[in-house]
Amino acid sequence: MSAGPWRIAAGHLARNRAAMAGVAVFVVIALACLAAPLYAEHVAHTDPFRSNVSGTTVVDGRTVQVLAPSSTGLGLGVTPIGPTWDPGHYFLGADNQGRDVLARLLYGGRNSLFIGLISALLCCLIATAVGVLAGYAGGPVDALLSRTLDVVWSIPVYLLAICLSVILLTSGLRLGPITISAGSLWVPILIIAVVYVPYVARPVRGQVVALRNRDYIQAAIGTGASDVRVMRRDVLPNILPTAIVFVPIMMALDMLTESALSFLSVGVQPPDASWGTIINDGLGLLYTRPAVTIAPGLCIAATAVALNVLGDGVRDALDPGAR
């Protein structure tokens, strides 16, 4: 495989200012999230995973309670401290357990980004394998795989993901040598990767079917090359751009799906956090402390926009027809 077409595509991508802006936004968000422990320990001096119900903090030189008794309605319950805009103390306020929202946001972002990235890669990997196999083999293998993909795709993705989550979250998964415990991040990763496989595998298969009738593939088969060799040397390199185009788009889609599942409390499980679980935490505080809900949503939206713009750029760079 020569570097020629890839280098040309990379050059195209580098000259695409929108795509590069997307990369920049994504890198900034990812770095900030990676620095979560630094922020929590050295700037905010807080443990965002321990509830801090009776804690106090300093605002404008005065010591105040993190969870103040509610002054509205019947005076029952508590209202957490709102945004102080002071990076050292509860910059975005606290949630209903008195935990620092900004610190949780950064930690949650690590999980959201990790789940998005790994499930997107996993999904594209499985989908490419299935698509190439189905498209190249044809006949009954293709029929079986294609119909299976059709059936899976006929169930709305969110519903399928919810069904799988409900089952796997209570008991975990034991499939041969693979054991995944119920609260593990791998449960949402695996589920999200699997439910989107048809989305990627079907176009890949379509391309392989078209490729298979091309003269050079027929020639390779005619010279006696083994199926594995033809798939690896002649089919895969031509399919790779299609699969790569899907990675950033799928990561955006996967992150949105993860956040929705977590919002429905069937995604990331406590004590772990993700942007979706923080939005869920903010539900009861929506009208009093909207920052808890708004901030993680903006993070998801910004990351998804950056990835989608990058995805468009990658598509334009790899697909000469779309230029």
Q: Which residue from 300, 314, 317, 318 is in contact with another protein, where contact means CB under 8 A? A: 300
Parallel/antiparallel/unpaired status of strands 78-80 and 173-175: unpaired
Residue 295 CB-density burial (10 A; 0-12 exposed, 13-18 middle, 19+ buried):
buried
Would you count residue 317 as binding another protein (CB under 8 A)? no
> Closest distance between another protein and the C-beta of residue 250, in Å?
13
Taking a C-beta distance cutoff of 8 angstroms, is the pair 146, 134 a contact?
Answer: yes
Taking a C-beta distance cutoff of 8 angstroms, is the pair 93, 293 a contact?
Answer: no
d(CA 69, CA 87): 24
Q: Which residue from 25, 30, 137, 305 is in contact with another protein, where contact means CB under 8 A? A: 305
> Closest distance between another protein and the C-beta of residue 137, in Å?
20
Which C-beta is closer to another protein: that of 124 or that of 292?
A: 292
Number of residues located near another protein, criterion CB under 8 A: 50
Would you count residue 151 as binding another protein (CB under 8 A)? yes
Q: What is the DSSP letter of 70?
A: P
Residue closest to 190 by CA, chosen among 263, 112, 131, 118? 118
Q: Which residue from 175, 215, 222, 323 is in contact with another protein, where contact means CB under 8 A? A: 175
Which C-beta is closer to another protein: that of 174 or that of 233?
A: 174
Would you count residue 181 as binding another protein (CB under 8 A)? no
Alpha-carbon 27 to chain mean position: 15
- Provide CB contacts within 8 A for 275, sequence distance 6+: 105, 108, 109, 112, 255, 259, 262, 296, 297, 299, 300
> Closest distance between another protein and the C-beta of residue 198, in Å?
12
Cα dist from 223 to 36, 84, 228, whole Å: 57, 72, 14
Piece of the chain touching another protein by CB under 8 A; list 80-88, 136-144, 208-216, 255-263:
255-263
Would you count residue 203 as binding another protein (CB under 8 A)? no
Task: Tally the C-alpha atoms within 13 A of residue 16's C-alpha that lie toward its C-beta.
Answer: 22
Q: What part of residues 258-287 is at the interface with another protein (CB under 8 A)? A: 259-260, 263-266, 276, 279, 283, 286-287
Report the interface residues with another protein, using CB under 8 A. 18, 147, 150-152, 154-160, 162-164, 166-168, 170-175, 252, 256, 259-260, 263-266, 276, 279, 283, 286-287, 290, 293-294, 296-297, 300-301, 304-305, 308-309, 312, 322
